Amino acid sequence: MFGYFYDTEGFPARWNCGTAWAEEPWLGWTHVVADLMTAAAYTAIPLLLIVVLRRVRHVPAPHVVTLFAVFILACGTVHLIDAIIFWWPIYRLSAVAKVTTAAASVMTVIAASMHWPKLLLYRSPEELQAEVELRTRQLEETNQRLGLALEAGAMGTWDWDLDTGNVWFDETQQGLIGLAGHEDPVTGEPVVKASDFFELVAADHRGPLSEAIDAAIHRGEPYNHEFLVTTPQGTDRWLSGRGRVVYEDGRPRRVVGVNFDITRQKRSQEELAKARREAEAASLAKSRFLANTSHEIRTPLTAILGCAEVLARDPKDSDTAATADLIQRQGRLLQRLLSDVLDLSKIEAGRLTVHRKGVCDVPALLEDVRSLMQPLATEKGLDFRIDPNRAPLPYLQTDPIRLRQVLVNLLSNAIKYTEAGSVEMMVATRRDGEPSVVFTVSDTGIGIAPEQQQAVFEAFHQVQAGPAADELAHSLNEGVGLGLAISAKLARLLGGEIAVDSQPGRGSAFRLRLPLVVPSREKIESANRRLQEATGPSPAASGEAVRRGKLLVAEDTASIQHLLKRILARHAEELCFVQDGASALSQISAAKEAGRPFDVLLLDMNMPVMSGYEAARRLRDAGETLPIIALTASAMVGDRERCLEAGCTEYVAKPIDWGLLESAVQASLASRAPL
Ligand code: ADP
């Protein structure tokens, strides 16, 4: 088959084509020599290109270069054949060489045009050089900025080689730890042995520091640690270190990071903590002082109010009645002031616990509040409305006692500051946004000026609203400016807030918003059970037959004993007094042995020799089921619970509300011997 291409039959050698070649042979030789030189050059170029392709990496579009080499080689072959043809007329082979050249040239053009855009991006060595210089300059600037930042932040850099155990420190770091280091034989840079550095770390900080570094190296945790060092010059310095582990071939090789001086921060933190401890101690002292003072005030106040009560029950004339009434009113105001001051100081000390997870029976609460407030409103001739049937939800998860306290406060203010018209409370739920329940207490009273509306929530703030307000508040002999401050704080503790909307001369609307959380069925059931257990048979209403029994009173204050004797006379078949808990115990067991046990024990909780708490506990431990009414002057939050825990069945705070005490005695007698 190849013979066809070498077959020259019918073709003359070029020297034989015409006569001119023989006449001008130099012309033929010119063709031959030129073609041979071109062929030689066209063979050398591809060879050079192959060498370049093999040696130089990243040659742009190497296959275009390869095609170009083939194209040039084919051109050389065509020129070689053109020279040979003068003697050997291989025109067929020449055609093959030309077709190959044509194909290679077209393919080269196509490939080159396809890669043209890419080739255009290639930069000249000069351009590359310029770019490298620019980048180097930028890097130097960045390094300089980093250096300045490190210097400004007093940050020292370190680089710990885990293989050699040498740590390289920059100048700042050397200054921070006071170590200059020695020259590394390999890098020539100043380094410090890691063990020398650890020597400087405070003894009790070394363990945690190595743990933090270990955790970073072996568990990949971020290294972020604070520790104390003592420099060789004897300066104590707190350092905060941040760093990261550098891995090489999957193995931790170095830990690189920064340290900065946080000594001042630490010192101020310590000072702050100290100041805080001192402030807490002062606040505790204040709370104790308030609790003690209130205890001291309550005891004589009980006597004063009791005397007034005795006077008021059987006044000799209208003058005495008015005086007794005045004493009672002022006494009650003092009593309210005491409990408000206590509440506020507790809240401010963050020691007032609210039971936000409690269950509140909303209709029952509204009815309770209504029955308490109605008489006050009626007395002033005000139209008063709270419709428990309109309560939009049966149960709410919140602290019912604190909610009641806030509502009573808002309502008594509304009544207090309204001369004529109405006071009403509405309850509504809002489900747009965060679900909430809103209690709105509105009145048609004196109102509050816009600039005073925020200030009324501050402690001891009373609006100077002119003679009308002064007269109103004065005529009621009430108001110390704490109610709203306490209510607002309680609302916040309950997760809500109080807002006011008011127009002077037209009235006010106080809105208490609480989060709307409905308690679970189990919670409601257990709350109801507890309530039933706690509320025994209801005390005898006035007019009903009064139960009488054998009563023992353990009380050490003579004035209170005197009052109790008078108040309890109509409830007692027999009334005995003792001065302390221990005597109460012996009286009770003696009466039992004699076959005439006591029916009720009234127990002052704070007595000499043996406290009421101790006495109640001992009685219960001995299996005694006698009802015990706790009398206590420390009406702080949680006292009731403490008394009940000790084994008391009822709790009456001093100054004693005599009506309440009588109800408690009646309830206790009823539980002993039902009629
Ligand atoms: P106070 O014991 O004086 O009532 P509060 O903290 O309850 O203390 O109220 C602070 C002040 O806010 C009151 O002195 C009164 O001037 C004003 N205030 C509170 N409630 C009302 C109201 N419903 N109408 C008008 N003024 C009110």
Find the mean pLDDT for residues 158-181.
Answer: 88
Q: Kindly report the protein residue whose alpha carbon is nearest to atom 2 of ligand 1.
A: 479
Q: How far apart are CA 358 and CA 108, in angstroms?
A: 88
For ligand 1, whether the C-beta of 462 sits within 6 Å is: yes
Answer with the residue of higher pLDDT: 44 or 567: 44
Whether 485 lines ligand 1, by a CB cut-off of 6 Å, is yes
Q: Is 448 in the pocket of ligand 1 (CB under 6 A)?
A: yes
Q: Among 29-33, 296-300, 555-559, name the most confident range.
A: 29-33
Confidence at residue 292, expressed as pLDDT on a 0 to 100 scale: 77
| Ligand 1 probe mutation, 444, 484, 489, 512, most atoms within 8 A of CB | 484
What distance in angstroms lies between residue 424's CA and the mean position of ligand 1's atoms?
Answer: 16
Report the range of poorest mean pLDDT among 17-26, 215-224, 522-531, 571-580.
Answer: 522-531
The 10 Å Cβ neighbour count of residue 291 is 18
CB of 469 shorter than 6 A to ligand 1? yes
Q: ω before 655 within 30° of 0 (cis)?
A: yes
What mean pLDDT is predicted for residues 111-134? 83
pLDDT above 60 (res 464): no
Q: How far is the CA of 408 from the centre of ligand 1 (A)?
A: 13
pLDDT at 540: 40
Q: How far is the CA of 483 from the centre of ligand 1 (A)?
A: 8
Q: What was the pLDDT predicted at 334?
A: 83
The pLDDT of residue 542: 42
Ligand 1, atom nearest to 480 Cα: 2
Q: Which of 109-123, 306-320, 587-601 has the highest mean pLDDT?
A: 587-601
627 Cβ closer than 6 Å to some ligand 1 atom: no
- In 137-235, DSSP assigns E strands to 155-161, 166-169, 182-183, 190-193, 223-230
Residue 107 has pLDDT above 50, yes or no: yes
pLDDT tens, residue by residue, 628-655: 999 887 666 667 788 888 888 888 887 7
- Indicate the pairing of strand 549-554 with strand 600-604: parallel
Range with the poorest average pLDDT among 324-338, 368-382, 483-497: 324-338
Does residue 583 register a pLDDT over 50? yes
Which tokens is 179 given? 């170590």
The arithmetic mean of pLDDT across residues 63-86, rounded, is 92
| Stretch 328-336: mean pLDDT | 81
* Residue 673 pLDDT: 60
Angstrom distances, CA of residue 481 to CA of 37, 104, 118: 117, 104, 83
Tracing tokens 């005495």 back to the chain, one arrives at: 320
Residue 657 CA to ligand 1 center (angstroms) comes to 26
Please report which confidence band the pLDDT of residue 623 belongs to, taking 50, 70 and 90 as the band edges. confident
Atom of ligand 1 nearest to the CA of 486: 6
Of 443, 365, 382, 444, the C-alpha closest to 411 is: 443
Tell me what pLDDT residue 637 has: 60
Establish whether residue 479 lines the binding site of ligand 1, counting it when its CB lies within 6 angstroms of any ligand atom.
yes
478: pLDDT strictly greater than 80: no
pLDDT of residue 325 exceeding 50, the answer is: yes
Is a pLDDT exceeding 90 seen at residue 149?
Answer: no
Q: Please determine, for residue 291, whether its predicted confidence score (pLDDT) is greater than 90.
A: no
Residue 446, ligand 1, Cβ within 6 A: yes
Ligand 1 centroid to Cα of residue 410, in Å, is 9
Distance 474 CA to ligand 1 centre (A): 12
Candidate of 340, 347, 407, 413 to mutate for ligand 1, largest count of ligand atoms within 8 Å of Cβ: 413
**Gap from CA of 456 to ligand 1 centroid (Å):** 6
440 lines ligand 1 (CB under 6 A): no
According to the model, what pLDDT value does residue 422 have? 95
Of 320, 319, 303, the residue nearest 311 (C-alpha):
320
Residue with the larger pLDDT of the pair 558 and 359: 359
Atom of ligand 1 nearest to the CA of 445: 24
- Mean pLDDT, all residues of the chain: 85
The confidence score (pLDDT) of residue 62 equals 81
pLDDT computed for residue 537 by the predictor: 45
Atom of ligand 1 nearest to the CA of 469: 16
Out of 260-274, 584-598, 642-656, least confident range: 642-656
Asked if 403 and 366 touch (Cβ cutoff 8 Å), the reply is no
Per-residue pLDDT tens over the stretch 496-539: 999 999 999 999 999 999 999 999 888 888 877 766 655 544 44
508 ligand 1 Cβ < 6 A: yes
Centre of ligand 1 to C-alpha 462, Å, is 6
Q: State mean pLDDT over 598-606.
A: 90
Strand order in the sheet with 628-632: 572-578, 549-554, 600-604, 628-632, 650-653
Half-sphere exposure of 415 (CA within 13 A, CB side): 23
Of all residues in the chain, what percent carry a pLDDT higher than 70? 92
231 closest CA partner among 195, 194, 202: 202
Task: Give the residue, by CA position, lying nearest to ligand 1 atom 8.
Answer: 481
**Where is pLDDT greater, at 89 or 288?**
89
Q: Is the pLDDT of residue 477 over 50?
A: no
Cβ of 486 less than 6 Å from ligand 1: no
Is the beta carbon of 81 within 6 A of some atom in ligand 1?
Answer: no
Q: How many angstroms separate the CA atoms of 204 and 213, rounded? A: 16
The answer to whether residue 476 scores a pLDDT higher than 50 is: no
Mean pLDDT of 466-486: 63
The answer, yes or no, to whether any atom of ligand 1 lies below 6 A from the CB of 483, is yes
Q: From the CB of 563, is ligand 1 less than 6 Å away?
A: no
CA 94, 95, 98: angle at the middle one, nearest 5? Answer: 85
With a 6 Å cutoff on the Cβ, whether 504 touches ligand 1 is no
Q: How far is the CA of 306 from the centre of ligand 1 (A)?
A: 29
Average pLDDT over residues 190-212: 91
415 in ligand 1 pocket by Cβ < 6 Å?
no
Closest CA to 628 of 668, 661, 592: 668
User: Cβ distance 549 to 671 under 8 Å?
Assistant: no
How many C-beta neighbours within 10 Å does residue 306 have? 23
Ligand 1 center from residue 444 Cα (angstroms): 14
| 263-313 vs 558-568: helix crossing angle, rounded to 10 | 50
What is the whole-number distance in angstroms between the Cα of residue 650 and the centre of ligand 1? 34
| Cα–Cα distance, 170 to 258 (Å, whole number) | 10
Ligand 1 lined by 414 (C-beta under 6 Å): yes
Q: What integer pLDDT is reported at residue 28 of this predicted model?
A: 92
Which residue's CA is the nearest one to ligand 1's atom 23?
414
